[in-house]
Chain A
Amino acid sequence: MTNADWPLWEVFVRSRRGLSHTHAGSLHAPDAEMALRNARDLYTRRSEGVSIWVVPSAAVTASSPDEKDPFFEPAADKPYRHPTFYEIPEGVRHL
């Protein structure tokens, strides 16, 4: 068996409780259980995580670079979509 036979997995790591899982990278593994273990060795060995997800890369549907303009550009010139026009009352923290 060679590496070429093994599917690719995307790895998501939660660095501590309360935070969401963030994408850490990808790896090859023969199955989900081994992917989880490989992820533990590759991405959390310096105590970076408390939880790991592995997802088959084939299961990810990604936006295409060709669709970049219709997807993302219309958002660029609409500053009113950003909540920057409010006066923040004094004394309200963490807003």
Chain B
Amino acid sequence: MNGASVTVGEAPLATAALALGDDALVLSHRLGEWAGHAPVLEEEVALANIALDLLGQARTLLSLAGDEDELAYLREERSFRNAQLVEQPNGDFARTIARQLFFSVHQHLLYGQLAAGDGPFAPLAGKAVKEVAYHRDHAEQWTLRLGDGTEESHARMQSALDGLWRYTGELFEPVEGLAVDRAALREGWLAAVTEVVERATLRMPDGPQTGAWTAGAGRQGIHTESFGRMLAEMQHLHRSHPGASW
């Protein structure tokens, strides 16, 4: 299969739509992997709900950049523009929650800014910001309970925050076509995450967020090892039966 045949818009709007759309699509798939494996039934439904919200956002965003199905199912790994944070494997439940916390606080603030503006993403962001507020609340509630829970849940949550910290800097790198106040975004994110982490009796990771020894470049198409496997699973059916429908 040749991913080069997929038409991707080149305009700044398409670049930005692809970055946001791929974030939503990839995280949606990761959360969907919990189906049948979540610690409790109620939580499985909660995670699937969040995944479906993100999938809806991804469909709208990818449609701004080209054909949504082609973009999702026929692109090669190097053509995906999601941040590396969202492609990180689910790990244990604490790791999934840490990923949710870092991402959904960022997405909530970002969509809040976009919704307040009059750019091309304002209508989508206005609708999605309510969904994302719930995702953020879900992650915060669990961070508090795991951090301030048992000795084991505390240790797992701390290790999850520490392990994913180096992927967070990429969220604040500029994206062409996305007119937002990056400094305010970063400041708001750091304040919000710090508040929750400290309330959960955890400590903020002390490693660097950007620069050497951190991750990044997902927006340029460089992805981490597990992403290829995830894509293979996500795209397998569509590639095996091109054009199939229900």
Contacts and interface: CB of A to CB of B under 8 A. Distances in A.
The finding on whether chains A and B are genuine partners in a shared complex, rather than unrelated, reads: yes
Interface of A: 1-3, 6, 27-31, 33-34, 37-38, 40-42, 45
Contacts of B39: 1-3
Given A1-B150, A33-B141, 4 more contacts: A31-B145, A37-B141, A38-B45, A41-B42
Contacts of A38: 42-43, 45-46
Contacts of A33: 141
Interface string B24-45: 0000000000000001111101
Given A1-B150, A30-B145, A33-B141, A41 B40 contact: no
B49 A45 contact: yes
- The 10 A-B residue pairs with the shortest CB-CB distance, nearest first, are A38-B42, A41-B46, A3-B40, A41-B49, A41-B45, A27-B42, A42-B45, A28-B42, A45-B49, A28-B40
A37 to B, nearest CB: 7
Nearest to B138: A37
Contacts of A30: 145
Contacts of A37: 46, 137-138, 141
Interface residues on B, range: 10 to 19
Contacts of A28: 40-42
Nearest to B144: A33
Contacts of A42: 42, 45
Contacts of A29: 42
Nearest to A33: B141
Contacts of B42: 27-29, 38, 41-42
Contacts of A45: 49
A46 to B, nearest CB: 11
Q: Which residue, B46, B137, B149, has most C-beta atoms of chain A within 10 A?
A: B46
A34 B149 CA distance: 14
A40 to B, nearest CB: 8
B188 to A, nearest CB: 24
22 contacts: A1-B149, A2-B40, A3-B39, A3-B41, A28-B40, A28-B41, A28-B42, A29-B42, A30-B145, A31-B145, A33-B141, A34-B141, A34-B145, A37-B46, A37-B137, A37-B138, A37-B141, A38-B43, A38-B46, A41-B42, A41-B49, A42-B45
A10 to B, nearest CB: 14
